[in-house]
Amino acid sequence: MSTQNLLVELFVEELPPKALKKLGESFANGIHKSLEINDFLESGAEVTSFASPRRLAVHITQVRAVSQPRPRSPETLMPIAVGLKDGAPTPALMKRLTTKLGYHDSVDIQWLLRERLFVEMEGGKEVLKHRFDLASGSQLAIGLEGAVLSSLAALPIPKVMTYQLADGWADVKFVRPAHGLLALHGTEVVAIEAMGLTSGRATSGHRFEATKPVVEIAHADSYAQQLREEGAVIASFAERRAEIVRQLTAAAAKEGLKPIEDEALLDEVTALVERPNVLTCQFEPEFLAVPQECLILTMKANQKYFPLLDAAGKLTHKFLIVSNIAPADASAVVQGNERVVRPRLADAKFFFDQDRKKTLESRVPGLAKVVYHGKLGTQGERAERVKAIAHGIVSQLRMATVPFTADDKDHFDVLDSKVAQASLLAKTDLLTDMVGEFPELQGIMGGYYARHEGLRDGVAIAIEDHYKPRFAGDALPRNHTGTVVALADKLETLVGLFGIGQLPTGDKDPFALRRHALGVIRILTEKNLPLNLYELIQGAESIFAELLSNEAVLDSLVSFFYDRLAVNLRDQGYSAQEVDAVLALAPQRLGDVPRRLEAVRAFAALPEAASLAAANKRVGNILKKIEGELPTAVSDALLQEPAEQALAQALAAVQPQADRLFEQHDYAGSLKALAALKAPVDAFFDDVMVNADDAALRANRQALLSRLHQAMNRVADLSRLAS
C-alpha cells in the first residue's frame, strides 16, 4: 500500500516559553503514538517535532491513507479493582486509555467496555485487558482527527485558559487561543476538525519579517523550508536553539569573552523568538561593584539576556541579547535594551547598598517574626535548633579521628565557636532586600554581607555554603564549618518535617526532602566523615523535644535515607545486587559505602565468589529456622567429622585475618581472605549433616555455621550475590 508523509500544525497565539519544548514534544509524540496504535504507520516511520512561539507541529513519514490492521495480542492494562469502580472507569484507567492507547477522553466508554475491554485471570488475580480492532481499514481523516484530539487533551499545559469561538457561543479550553489547523498527507489536505478549526494548508509566518502574510504549504515535506524562506521562521526548536548557540558563541568571540552557560535560559529564549538575531550590548562599568551573582540573575531572570564573562569567569559590563527581528540598523534595538537593563541594575545596586547598612547580627531578632512552619515555629527557633544540632555534630567529630585529625581541645573549641556563629546568622539574609527580590541568592548574599562586616572568613564561607549541595551535581561546602552547618540545617529540615508527618508521597515532595537527604548522603560519603547516621538523626530528634508528633521518625527517616542512597548508587552504575548486598547491613558510616561496594565488586569477580555466596545463603536459611537464641560456643571435642574439623580450622585461620583487614577498612582484602573458605565450606555441606539427631552435635554445628555467617557478612550480605 502506498504511503505519504504527513504534516500537522496547530497555529496559536504566543505559547508559554518555559513550557514550549515539552508542549512540542508531547504534541508530536501523541499524534505519532495514536497513528501507530491504530495501524496508519509503516514500520520504521520517523517523527519530527516542530515548536515555535506560535505553532506546534509534527512531520511523520510513511503514513498510510487507510489503516492496515495487524493481528495483536490483547494488552494488559491494570487490575480490575484499579481500573473500574462500581462499573465506571477510574481516572487511572482513563489516563492509560488516552496516553498509552491513543483514545480521546470523550470516547464512548460504554462502547469501549462492551467492544474492547475484557477481564481475564492473570497471576492469580483479575486484570483488565484491551483487545485491538481487526476490522477493515479506516480512513486517515478519521484516525488523524482522533489522534490530534487525544494529543491535545494530553498536553502538559501549565495553565488552561477559556476563550470563545467566532460564533460567540462555543467555548474552548486551551493554553492559548488557536487560529489555524494545517494537515497535509503529501500534497493533499486531510479534512479534520479540532478546537473549532477546520484543517487546510495555510499558515502564518513571522509577524514582521515574513515575505508573505499567508504561507501556503505545498507539500508535507516542504513545511520547514517554506516557513524559513517565505515566513522568516525557523520552525524546529532544536535548529533554532543551535542557531542561537552559534550566534552567541560568535558574538562573544568578537569581544574576546564567553557567554554564561545556562541551558534553561537557552531553552526559554529559544521559545521566545522565531528567527533569532544576537546583538551585543553594554552597561555602565560602575555597576560591577555589585556582586556579580546579583547582576547576572537580574539580567537572566528579568530580561533574558546572556551576560558575558572574561577568561577568569568574572562578569564584564557587556551582554548579549537575542532579538526576534533583524533590522538593517540594529542600533535602536541595542539602545532600547541598554536603556531597559539600567534600572534593573540600579535596583540591584540600591538593594546591595541598603542591606549593608545593617549587620547580620542585628537581623537575628527579626527571624523570630518569620514563620518557618505552623507546627515548627519561626526561623528564629529554627536557627537555634540548627545551632544545637551543629554543636552535637562537632561533639561527635571531637571523639573521632579522620578527617579532622587535630586531637587538641582548642581545635574543636574554635570549630564549635564558628559553627555556632554561622548557624545563627545563616538565615538572616532572608530579611534583606536583595534576597527578598531574588530568593535564589539566599546564602550567597549572606556570605557577601558577612565578609563586608569583617566576620571570620570561615564563617562567611559557611553562611554561603550551608545550602549546598542545592541540586544534583552541585559542589559541597568548602570548609569544616560549612560542612557542619549544612549537615545540621538539612537534618533539622528532615527530622522536623518527618516528625510532623510531612513525608514525600509519590512524585510530590513540596519541601524537597529527597534533595535534602541526598545532600546529607553526599556530604557524608564524599567527605568520608566519621559520623554515624543513626546517631546524627537521633541527636537532631532530641533537639525538637515535644514538637514532634511522629514517634517513629527515627526508623522511618533511616529507611528514607537508605532508599535514597540505594537510588543514588544505582544511578552511579552499581548493580542492584551490589547495592542490596552492602545496604542490607545498614552501614551507619556512609563514607564506607563506596569502598564496600568496590570490595563486593572485586569479590564477585573471584572464582570462589558464586559458591561462597550460595553457601552463605544456605547458612542464613538454616540459622533462620533455629528457634530461640543462636548457639555461639563451638566445642572442639564435638567436632567429629573431618569436614567440620577442617572448616573450624580454616575459619580459625581466616577469620582473624579478615577481621583485622576489616578494622583497617581494607574491605576488598577482608573479602578476598574469605576465598580460602570455599573448599572447606563445600566439603562441610557435602559430608556433614547439620541437623544431627544428637542435640549437642546439632547445636555445635549450628554454632560453627553461626561463626561462619558472622565472619562472611561483615562487609556485605554475601547471600544477596547468589543467583
pLDDT digits (tens, 9 = 90+) for 161-200: 998 887 777 788 899 999 999 999 999 999 999 999 999 9
- Decide which of 402 and 292 is more confident: 292
Domain membership of residue 585 (yes or no) is no
Tell me whether residue 460 is exposed, middle or buried, using C-beta atoms within 10 angstroms of its C-beta: 0 to 12, 13 to 18, 19 or more. buried
Backbone angles phi, psi at 463, to 5 degrees: -60, -40
CA distance between the termini of the chain = 50
In terms of domains, do 216 and 244 share one?
A: no
Share of residues in the chain with pLDDT > 70 (%): 96
Q: What does the pLDDT average to over 577-585?
A: 92
Within a domain: residue 578? no
User: What band does 130 get if pLDDT is binned at 50, 70 and 90?
Assistant: confident
Return the pLDDT at 103.
72
Residues 605 and 655 in one domain: yes
Q: Report the C-alpha gap between 175 and 1 in whole angstroms.
A: 38
Q: Residue 119 forms beta bridges with which residues?
A: 128
For 234-248, letters b (16+ CB in 10 Å) and e give: bbbbeebbebbeebb
- At which of 526, 542, 573 does a domain end? 573
Whether 338 and 250 map to the same domain: the answer is yes
Q: pLDDT-derived band of residue 401, with 50, 70 and 90 as boundaries?
A: low
Closest residue by Cα to residue 696 from 642, 618, 634, 626: 634
- Residues 6 or more apart whose CB falls under 8 angstroms from that of 405 comprise none
The verdict on 100 and 214 lying in the same domain is: no
Question: What mean pLDDT is predicted for residues 702-721?
Answer: 89
The mean per-residue pLDDT over the stretch 643-666 comes to: 90
Residue 350, amino acid = F
Query: Average pLDDT of 15-35?
Result: 94
Q: Does 458 share its domain with 566?
A: yes
Q: Above 60 in pLDDT, residue 571? A: yes
Inside any domain, residue 163: yes
Determine the pLDDT at residue 581.
92
The CATH number linked to 711 is 1.10.730
Which of 663, 676, 677 is closest to 714 using CA atoms?
663
- The Cα 715–Cα 600 span in angstroms is 8
Residue 417 clears pLDDT 80, i.e. is over it: yes
Question: 136 falls in which pLDDT band (50, 70, 90)?
Answer: low
pLDDT range class, residue 133, cuts 50, 70, 90: low
Average pLDDT over residues 549-568: 86
How far apart are the C-alpha atoms of 455 and 449, rounded to whole Å? 9
- Alpha-carbon distance of 671 to 600, in angstroms, equals 8
The residue range of the domain holding 44 is 3-68+138-229
Q: What is the mean pLDDT of residues 499-526?
A: 90
Nearest 10 degrees: Cα torsion 546, 548, 550, 556: -120
Strand partners, 52: 55
- Residues 253 and 321 reside in one and the same domain: yes
Last residue of a domain, which of 355, 389, 415? 355
pLDDT for 413 beyond 90: no
339-359 mean pLDDT: 95
Q: Considering only 115-119, 541-545, 594-598, 645-649, which range has the smallest mean pLDDT?
A: 115-119
pLDDT score of 404 more than 70? no
Number of domains in the chain: 5
Domain match, 381 and 505 both: yes
Query: Per the domain annotation, does 684 fall within a domain?
Result: yes
What is the band of 400 on the pLDDT scale with cuts at 50, 70, 90? confident
To 10 degrees, what angle do helices 379-398 and 409-425 make? 160
Question: Angle 513-526/553-571 helices, nearest 10 degrees?
Answer: 70
583 within domain boundaries: no
Residues 328 and 442 in one domain: no
Of the residues 180, 208, 229, which one is the last residue of a structural domain? 229
Establish if 582 belongs to a structural domain. Answer: no
Do the Cβ atoms of 530 and 587 come closer than 8 Å? Answer: no
- Residue 259's pLDDT is what? 95
Whether residue 436 sits in one domain with residue 488: yes
Segment 375-404 mean pLDDT: 86
Report the alpha-carbon distance of residue 717 to residue 709 in Å, rounded: 9
* Residues 467 and 603 placed together within one structural domain of the fold: no
DSSP annotation of 402: S
- Answer yes or no: is pLDDT of 95 > 70: yes
Angle ∠(287,470,293) on CA atoms, nearest 5: 5
Worst-scoring range by mean pLDDT, 37-41, 239-243, 407-411, 451-455? 407-411
Give the predicted TM-score (pTM) of the model: 0.80
User: What does DSSP assign to residue 297?
Assistant: H
Query: For 159-173, 176-190, 338-352, 362-376, which range has the lowest pLDDT when averaged over its residues?
Result: 159-173
Reduced to 3 states, what is the DSSP secondary structure of residue 74?
A: coil
Dihedral of CA atoms 261, 267, 268, 273 in degrees, nearest 10, equals 110
State how far the alpha carbon of 288 is from the alpha carbons of 285, 292, 440, in Å. Answer: 6, 7, 19
Contacts of residue 76, defined as CB under 8 A and 6 or more positions apart, other chains included, come to 122, 127, 128, 129
Maximum Cα interatomic distance, the chain, rounded to a whole number of Å: 102
> Would 84 be classed as within a structural domain?
yes
User: Do 421 and 532 lie in a common domain?
Assistant: yes
- The verdict on residue 142 lying in a domain is yes
What's the confidence (pLDDT) of residue 410?
Answer: 64
Q: Which residue has the cell 554561622?
A: 422
Amino acid identity at 116: R
- Higher per-residue pLDDT: 107 or 15: 15
pLDDT at 402 over 60: no
| CA pair distance 244, 250, nearest whole angstrom | 10
Q: Other C-beta atoms within 10 Å of 334: how many?
A: 16
CB 46 within 8 A of CB 60: yes
Q: 376 with 309, same domain?
A: no
Query: Taking the C-alpha atoms of 630, 631, 632 and 638 in order, what is their torsion angle to the nearest 10 degrees?
Result: -150
Mean pLDDT, the chain, whole residue set: 90
In the structure grid, which three cell numbers stand for residue 147, read together? Answer: 489522534
